[in-house]
């Protein structure tokens, strides 16, 4: 329990540091931090599936994309969501993300392992296909530029720093909401399904329904991150729903540590740092990104958040070896 409190304190301190430092940075860093926070929300939504339910989804970008496209289309075609009604856009984005997940879940939830991975990939590709080819609606390859800019309603969100504060707020709210969710009895049942699905089924839990609800919640928060992304980025293109976006979200979660929630945020910061920052410095940044993928998988099974635990484990095994060395050899 002590280590749990320590972790919570560490998270709060790092969040405060972020909140204090970022406003003093140049506008590029502010925008970068904003985007990384948006992706952190996406990665945390995926963590509900991957880390807490044991479902590896290759299609989380679908909900992200639907939230982003919906925001852009409503803003450009109907001028909706650019004034105070931006606050309505948030629940609408979450509802649509959740609704899409509720529809997709009907196909996907029954599958497990490789087949779950494949069916979520196919569902994600369906959304990508529509975004890419449905020119009259999505602008096709060019995407949709947010002509109206960011919302203004007393608070001027067109300023990058104000938008950073807003995104930060939504990030903290998401973190809290998902933290409460995974600590609730429902969250404990999800963990049980991840560990021993058959046992949970025999105990009388409705495993399908638990997974389905988790899938919908993940979709809803994916939709939320999409709404924010449309405004953070200013343009929504098929790139938002492409397969590599889903894969990136997976890597962020695994890199930070699946099943830890904040791990997704750490992973997002690192991947974004590489993708958006290092790429402006050197042309060969993809070697680093590819290397991070390979090294994480080979050497960091529990992610960055799991490093302290691994070191402790390694130390224990060392001391054990010492003691066996000192013990008299059996003759």
Partner 1 sequence: MGTQFWVVQAFNGVSYGALLFLVGAGLSLIFGVMRIVNLSHGSYFLLGGYVALSVIGHTGSWLLSIPIAALTIAVVGLIMERLFLRPEGHAKLVRDALIALGIALVVRLAIGPILPQLLPGLIGGIIQVTLVVIVFAIPIFLLLQRISAVAIEADVLRQVLMTVGFAFLFQQAALDIWGGNNFDIQPPSALTQSLVIGGTYLPLYRLFMIVGALVIGIVLWLAMEKTRMGAAVRATVDDAQMARGVGIDTNKISMLIFALGAGMAALGGVIGGAFLGVYPGLDFEMLPIAFAVVIIGGMGSLGGAAIGALLVGLADNFGKALFPELAYFTLYAPMVLILAIKPTGLFGRD
Footprint of partner 1 (CB under 8 A): 50, 56, 58, 107-108, 110-111, 113-115, 117-119, 121-123, 125-126, 128-130, 132-137, 242-244, 247, 250-251, 254, 282, 284-299, 301
Residue 6 Cβ vs partner 1, minimum distance, rounded to whole Å: 25
The answer to whether 267 touches 255, Cβ cutoff 8 Å, is yes
Give the nearer residue to partner 1 in terms of CB position, either 68 or 251: 251
CA angle 25/276/36 to nearest 5° reads: 65
The two beta strands, 144-145 and 235-236, are: antiparallel
* 39 contacts: CB under 8 Å, gap ≥ 6: 225, 248, 249, 252, 268, 271, 272
Angle CA 6–174–296, to nearest 5: 65
Nearest 5°: the CA angle 258, 50, 183 is 75
Residue closer to partner 1 by CB (options 86, 132) is 132
CB of residue 5 vs partner 1: minimum separation in angstroms?
29
Question: Which C-beta is closer to partner 1: that of 51 or that of 151?
Answer: 51
Question: CB 117 → partner 1: shortest distance, Å?
Answer: 6
CB closer to partner 1 out of 28 and 287 = 287
Least distance (Å) between residue 206 CB and partner 1? 20
How far is 38 from 170, CA to CA, in rounded Å? 9
Taking the complex as a whole, the smallest distance from the CB of residue 327 to partner 1 amounts, in Å, to 24
In whole angstroms, the minimum distance from the beta carbon of 198 to partner 1 comes to: 18
CB of 176 to partner 1, least distance (A): 27
Nearer to partner 1, 133 or 183 (CB): 133
Classify residue 197 as exposed, middle or buried by CB count within 10 Å of its CB (0-12, 13-18, 19+). middle
Q: In Å, what is the CA distance from 293 to each residue of 142, 303, 306?
A: 29, 11, 16
Distance between CA 265 and CA 317 in Å, rounded? 31
Closest among 248, 263, 270, 273 to 302, alpha carbons compared: 263
State which residue, 151 or 264, has the beta carbon closest to partner 1. 264
Name residue 247's beta-bridge partners.
none
Dist CA 173 CA 221 (whole Å): 11
In the complex, least distance from residue 157 CB atom to partner 1, rounded to whole angstroms:
33
Give the residue with the Cβ less far from partner 1, 177 or 295: 295
Residue (140 or 234) nearer to partner 1, CB? 140
Q: Is 57 exposed, middle or buried (0-12, 13-18, 19+ CB in 10 A)?
A: buried
Is 31 or 119 the residue whose CB approaches partner 1 more closely?
119
The least distance separating partner 1 from the CB of residue 36, rounded to whole angstroms, comes to 19
Token code pair at residue 230: 């449309």
Exposed e or buried b for every residue in 8-43, given b needs 16+ CB within 10 A?
eeebeeebeebeeebeeeeeebbbbbbbbbbbbbbb
């Amino acid at each position: 329990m002590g280590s749990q409190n320590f972790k919570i304190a560490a998270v709060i301190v790092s969040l405060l540091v972020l909140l204090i430092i970022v406003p003093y940075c140049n506008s590029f860093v502010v925008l970068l931090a904003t985007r990384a926070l948006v992706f952190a929300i996406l990665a945390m939504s995926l963590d509900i599936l991957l880390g807490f339910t044991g479902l590896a989804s290759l299609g989380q970008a679908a909900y992200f994309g639907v939230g982003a496209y919906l925001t852009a289309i409503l803003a450009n075609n109907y001028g909706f969501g650019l004034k105070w009604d931006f606050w309505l856009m948030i629940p609408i984005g979450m509802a649509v993300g959740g609704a899409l997940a509720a529809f997709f879940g009907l196909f996907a939830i029954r599958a497990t392992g490789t087949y779950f991975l494949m069916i979520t990939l196919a569902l994600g590709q369906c959304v990508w296909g529509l975004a890419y080819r449905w020119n009259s609606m999505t602008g096709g390859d060019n995407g949709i530029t947010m002509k109206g800019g960011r919302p203004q309603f007393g608070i001027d969100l067109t300023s990058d720093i104000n938008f950073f504060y807003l995104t930060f707020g939504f990030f903290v709210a998401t973190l809290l909401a998902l933290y409460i969710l995974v600590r609730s009895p429902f969250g404990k049942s999800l963990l049980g399904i991840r560990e021993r699905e058959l046992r949970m089924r025999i105990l009388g839990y409705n495993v399908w329904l638990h997974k389905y609800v988790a899938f919908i919640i993940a979709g809803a928060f994916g939709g939320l991150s999409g709404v924010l992304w449309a405004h953070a980025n200013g343009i929504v293109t098929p790139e938002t729903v492409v397969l590599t976006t889903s894969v990136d979200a997976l890597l962020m979660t695994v890199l930070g540590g699946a099943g830890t929630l904040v791990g997704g945020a750490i992973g997002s910061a690192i991947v974004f740092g590489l993708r958006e920052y290092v790429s402006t410095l050197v042309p060969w940044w993809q070697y680093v990104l590819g290397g991070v993928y390979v090294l994480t998988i080979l050497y960091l099974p529990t992610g960055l958040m799991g490093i302290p635990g691994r070191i402790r484990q390694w130390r224990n095994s060392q001391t054990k070896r010492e003691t066996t060395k000192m013990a008299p050899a059996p003759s």
